Homo-oligomer: A and B are copies of this chain.
Amino acid sequence: MDKYDKIVDLAKRRGFFWPSSEIYGGVAGFLDFGPMGTLLKRNVERRWREAFIHRHHGLVYEVETPVVMPSRVFEASGHVDHFTDVVVECLSCHKRFRADHVILEQAGDIQGIEGMTTEQLDATIKEKGVRCSECGGKLGKVTTFNLLFRTSIGPYSENVAYMRPEAAQGMFVNFKNIYTTMRERLPMGLAQIGKVLRNEISPRQGPIRLREFTIMEIEFFFDPESPNCELLGEVGDKKLRLLTEDLVAAGKTDPKEVTVEEAVKKKMILSEWQAYFMALSTDFVSGLGAPHDSQMFVAKLASERAHYSAQTFDQVVKLDRWGWVEVSGHAYRTAYDVSRHQQFSAQDLSVFKKFEKPQKEKALVARPKVSVISAECKSDTGRVLAAIKGSGAKGLMELLRSGSTVINGVTVRPGYVEFIEEEQTIAGRRFVPHVAEPSFGADRLTYLAMECAYTEKEKRIVLRLPRSVAPVQVSVFPLVNKDGIRENALEIQNLIRADGFLSDFDDAGSIGRRYARSDEIGAPLAITVDYQTLQDGTVTVRDRDTWEQSRISVKDLTGYLREYYRR
């Protein structure tokens, strides 16, 4: 058993996670979280909320939008056209595979396979003699498969809708509205923690590749002409391990370690806000237990990037079985999404920024020569004047350069207009904000925390989860279930609970077995109530990692826990 198998085994046995609908044979790509897993995942989400939302209140706001959104949203976002994988079907057994995966499995690494067209993949299958990995049959033509889960809303099946593959679109369609409500300030981030679905063709990596998972995402809107991050100073000297586009293109796998400041100065990261969030992400993932040197940010090549991104870094962490696995994505989405929704909805989603003081600006103006026009056009004069007024000065000058032109049914001659440069007063400027997006998978991070915490000690499993994410904070054991010891232990549990600590009461089996169980769920501390407790009011507190025990007075217990958990 490798580490992955051991964790999956532990996860099932101790109530962390397992395949969904298991009594019906399980469903690939869906996971159920049990009591311990749910507590752990909630803690991962809480830490993210603290790190990315709460500390930025007034700058970043959490919102909540539906999982199901109408087709139009994903037509605008480009997902209906572009959110596809390549699929190929066996002509004999009719099993379907992800085309690139089946090729890689059988033909080994092939450069640039991520960017290949279906025709190129067909050719590669032929050239390499790739066949069905189930039955060895001949493979059909490669086609594309849209990864959106499809449904329809209401009693009319033609009202197509999709389950969102990212929380982002719910924030883009609401940007303008919330911008207005929250007093028209930029930069402004919108954040969301919620379920998303991607209909993967054949996911086989348990918690690493899910069809339904929880995303934690920020869309951070800023003025592209004021792209500076005012908080960059707070993280300027933090270290990032970067595998830049250059290095990736050159086939390198060792990242450069640079400070955030340097990465921004040398334009390795295009957006300062993106750099800021990458620094926070490093701290966040470290806080879940991943060592700094098993993390890095890998740039996506242009051919691999999503259709909306000008620069993307994947934050990857090295896992025992799966190698470097993406735990967050950092995309510089520019003005793409809001512009698209502006176009598809025909709503003005741009923002207006007043200049500190109105600015003078030279502008080309088309001034009609009214006397010439009225002399020549007579009763059409009004229509000609309207035609001139209704045209942009620049475009009209261009048109008239090659002679007369017809606008709205009337002829406009070059002699009707004079073009002059005029100084105008401009109050501000209208633009669509740019967006930096950090986006995390909560389920993968939950698994990651478990793998990073997994250790064995004297042939037993100890899950050394960081104190702030451990599902249970204290285990409470009565040494025996008689002589009032059980009641005493329950009272102590109530005391701890009243102070806001989550404790697990366990009175079954030997103390040794109970310690082992407590270590397996990663409870940092275990308290045992025994006969001495009845005499002197002290309990044994045992440390999960050192297995050391000390006696602490019950009356000092909550103070001890507060100190231990830094509350």
Q: A23-B341, A23-B345, A24-B72 are in contact. Are A145 and B155 (CB under 8 A)?
A: yes
Question: Are B35 and A177 in touch, CB under 8 angstroms?
Answer: no
A201–B199 alpha-carbon span in the complex (Å): 27
Copies of this subunit: 2
A212 at interface, CB cutoff 8 A:
yes
CB neighbours (8 Å) of A174 from chain B are 22, 32, 34
- Report A520 CB to chain B, min CB distance, Å: 11
A23 surroundings in chain B (CB, below 8 A): 173, 176-177, 341, 345, 347, 349
Given contacts A21-B73, A23-B173, A57-B503, A66 and B30 within 8 Å (CB-CB): yes
Which of B14, B18, B57, B163 lies in contact with A151, CB distance below 8 A?
A: B163
Cross-chain contact A65 with B33 (CB below 8 angstroms)? yes
Given A15-B178, A24-B73, is A32 in contact with B504 using a C-beta cutoff of 8 Å? no
Which A residues, 310 to 325, have Cβ-Cβ distances below 8 Å to chain B?
none
Interface bracket on A: 35 or more
Restricting to A433-447, which residues have a CB under 8 Å from any CB of B?
none
In angstroms, how far is the closest chain B Cβ from the Cβ of A516? 13
Whether the Cβ atoms of B68 and A24 lie closer than 8 Å is no
Contact A62 B39 (CB under 8 A): yes
Scoring A residues 151 to 177 as 1 if CB is less than 8 Å from chain B, else 0, what string do you get?
Answer: 111111000010100000010011011
A89 to chain B, nearest CB (A): 8
Distance between Cα atoms of A44 and B305 in the complex (Å): 39
Q: A24-B73, A32-B170, A72-B24 are in contact. Are A154 and B38 (CB under 8 A)?
A: no
Most buried by B among A39, A65, A178, A212: A65
Contact of A20 among B13, B65, B506, B508 (CB under 8 A): B65
B-contacting residues, A169-226, CB 8 Å: 170, 173-174, 176-178, 181-183, 194-195, 197, 199-202, 211-212
A67 adjacent to chain B (CB < 8 Å): yes
A228 to B120, CA, bound (A): 68
Contact with B along A18-62 (1 / 0, CB 8 A): 101111100111111111011101100000000000110110011
Say whether A557 faces chain B, with CB atoms less than 8 Å apart.
no
Complex Cα distance A73/B22, Å? 11
Question: Does A365 touch B at the CB level, under 8 Å?
Answer: no
Contact A14 B181 (CB under 8 A): yes
Provide the bound-state CA to CA distance between A66 and B22, in Å: 12
A149 contacts the other chain (CB 8 A):
yes
| A22, B341: Cα distance in complex, Å | 12
Closest approach, in angstroms, between the C-beta of A468 and any C-beta of chain B? 14
> Are A20 and B69 in contact, CB atoms less than 8 angstroms apart?
yes
Between-chain CB contacts (< 8 Å), 24 pairs: A14-B181, A22-B173, A22-B174, A23-B341, A24-B173, A24-B344, A24-B345, A27-B153, A31-B66, A33-B64, A34-B63, A38-B64, A41-B64, A57-B503, A58-B504, A68-B149, A96-B156, A153-B199, A154-B199, A154-B200, A155-B201, A155-B202, A163-B163, A194-B195
